[in-house]
Structure 1
Amino acid sequence: MIDSDVFDFVERCQKHKATGPLLTDLLDMARNLGFEHLILSGVPLGGQKLAPMVELNGWPAGWFERYLEAEHAAVDGVCIYSAKTLKPFFWADVPPKWSDTDASRRVASEATEFGISSGFAVPMLSVNHWQSVLSFASSAKACSVSPRDQVQLVTMAVYAGMSIQALSNTDEHGVDDILTDREKEVLLWAAAGKTSSETSQILGLAERTIKWHATRAREAFGVATTTQAVVEAVRRRLIHP
């Protein structure tokens, strides 16, 4: 694939108005470099669920469902390493600390049942998540990608990620709608170090109501604790402690 093809893709990225056409376009480009599948998502941390963080799903039919059901993100070396680096990497180069565990090897083995044997990951900063990663997957046992091809993959991944963020910002149900005003208020007081009991007294609400709003906020972000919800709300600029 020549560089002008990548520049043409970059121009098209700015014109896509929905994720479906963007995914189709990116998959077509990736196939030119030997990759049949891809996924773009936030990198789950601290008990976060992967499903609500997925922004482009070009995984084989059945594999995405298997991955979610088995909660593979928590043990998959590729996923774990994607949270620890901003440097693009081949899946085969994930450090043994994360790739050589029994659980991670099991994920890799199961993936081959769906035609996924190797890949190239592009971690990137994200407005919507702590960090995102676009992972390109191949049925080949080992990726054969030249340094120039790697630059092309990274360029396309970054612009695809930027396009996703632009689409989310223009969505009629914008990012601000993920939390109600009351949920934001509860998180603000939690950020100030107030307990549910103290917040209930401040807001004049029952403590169980405060806990309910905190639970809804955690569910909205797919996190396990209110502290994580506070961090996510601050990062997304939904609250300003």
Structure 2
Amino acid sequence: MAPLSQTSTEEDDYIKEIVGLKTQFDIFRFMKRVTEAYRSRAFMVLNLPPITSFDLQGSTVITSWPAELLALYDQEGLLVNSPVLRRLRTSARPFFYDMSRHNLSRDDGKSILVASLFERFKMMRCAYFPTHEPSGLRGAVSFAGDREPFSPAEMRELCYIAIHVFDRLAEIRNLDTRMTDTLTDREIDCLNWTAAGKTSAEIAEILTLSEHTVNHYLNRATKKLDTVNRTQAVAKALRIGLIK
């Protein structure tokens, strides 16, 4: 994948690819490619956290941030007085934030800590693109790294991608919700026990059913979840919160 400005591919081709993505993981891989194409180090797609929120991870949809950075960010409670989140809540315009240049004054006195933390992971420069879905839920897509600031053309291209990615994630979430509504209690029970490592014969004994009936429930659940086998069905059910 190359930046839109460096390829003859029509912009519609990028959107067609996004529309064809079926899962959050598909979008994660797509966004990883976009991040690399624009010479950044990490991306994040998040729902705009409420003012009362204390952690970033709870509002993150998908991200390639280093796990250690995300954990330290929340451990230090850096979301509460974040100037970036303050701006995202009050403006719908994309913006570029350079921690080495901007005044990082924070009410909590953690400006130096924030700067050193992001410098350590070479993510001092970030572009943010406010987004929203049809329901009105607000969010943002960001790209971070240590390259030179994005050009105006790159900011437009990334904004275009961000809008469609956020919208596609909302569509996938809505599809997953509808799938959840169509599964029966027995189908969910069978998925739960499969996730626990039980065979069809063992599940049949636990639920006092025939093995044939258990296989029937699992096959129906697999089809309803638009997956090709039980392993994928269990993985998807776990991802959308259908089973734990």
TM-score (norm 2): 0.62
1:85-122 deviation line (CA, Å, top 9, x unaligned)? 110000139985xx322324422321111221111000
1:56-93 deviation line (CA, Å, top 9, x unaligned)? 11112311111222221112221221111110000139
User: Aligned letter for 2:89?
Assistant: A
Give the corresponding residue for 1:170: 175
User: How far did residue 175 of structure 1 move?
Assistant: 9.4
Give the corresponding residue for 2:4: 2
Contact 2:127 2:142 in 1 (8 A): yes
**Cα gap change, 1:67/1:156 in structure 2, threshold over 3 Å: closer, same or farther?**
same
Larger radius of gyration: 2
Structure 2 gaps, min length 5: 182-244
Identity of aligned residues (%): 16
Give the corresponding residue for 2:81: 75
Q: Work out the CA distance in 2 between the residues paired with 1:175 and 1:51.
A: 24
Give the corresponding residue for 2:144: 137
User: How far did residue 21 of structure 1 move?
Assistant: 1.7
User: How far did residue 172 of structure 1 move?
Assistant: 4.0
Out of 45, 55, 72, the residue aligned to residue 66 of structure 1 is 72
User: Aligned letter for 1:21?
Assistant: D
2:158 counterpart of 1:153 = yes
Contact 2:23 2:172 in 1 (8 A): yes
Give the corresponding residue for 1:115: 122
Contact 1:115 1:138 in 2 (8 A): yes
Structure 1 gaps, min length 5: 177-241
1:13-51 deviation line (CA, Å, top 9, x unaligned)? 111111112111112122222212011111212212433
Out of 31, 46, 53, the residue aligned to residue 51 of structure 2 is 46
Out of 34, 41, 54, the residue aligned to residue 36 of structure 1 is 41
1:115-154 deviation line (CA, Å, top 9, x unaligned)? 21111000122457752111110123xx332211111100
The number of residue pairs the alignment matches comes to: 172
Give the corresponding residue for 1:16: 21
TM-score (norm 1): 0.63
